[in-house]
Structure 1
């Protein structure tokens, strides 16, 4: 039940996409946010962290070595504490 509501809201937003690139970008963001939620992360702080750290990993040609992405994955132990949701008691 929990995943139905975000999908329904997303569906309304997708009605306004009129390009393939826009649809692909939306799908990537939706996947990142849902993966963060499944890993008990705050989606806002996790995406903020990604947008802050990804540019730092680029080389002079704008490429990112895929091995350096491990530290940014939602299950990485090196994520900042603010990305993690507090555990419920």
Structure 2
């Protein structure tokens, strides 16, 4: 890659991108990680789609308050998106977790996380 970079004008946008990747500590390794690990996605489309709701609701977020309201809104939004990413209905999960949390010991909290939670767990507790 260095040879191709040397043949390009330093002002060329592609040369700048190659330089950015090669000059940074660990950037080249991070950029090529998908070649060795099939779980790594080539794009960040999932993250961008998850954040689309934030952009659409931008005006509503102005009224969240500052800073406590903002922090609470971000916290709740991250819980909702995490539940959705784990194929869990956020409303059902939050309703169940919020009712069970006061009676749950610290060692069993991990069972309430979205990736461990299911309706069968909810029925067992009832």
Q: TM-score range by the shorter chain?
A: 0.5 to 0.7
1:1-89 to structure 2, matched below 5 A, reads 2-57=49-104, 65=106, 67-76=107-116, 78-81=117-120
Which structure has the larger Rg? 2
How many pairs were matched up? 74
Q: How far does residue 2 in structure 1 lie from its aligned partner after superposition?
A: 3.9
Unaligned runs of 5+ in 2: 1-47
1:24–1:47 CA distance, 2 compared to 1 (3 A): same
CA RMSD of aligned residues (A): 2.2
- Partner of residue 86, structure 1: none
Relative contact order, CA 8 A, sep 6+: which one is greater?
Answer: 1
Unaligned runs of 5+ in 1: 58-63, 84-89
CA distance in structure 2 between the partners assigned to 1:20 and 1:4 by the alignment: 20
Higher-helix-fraction structure: 2
**TM-score normalised by structure 1 residue count:** 0.67
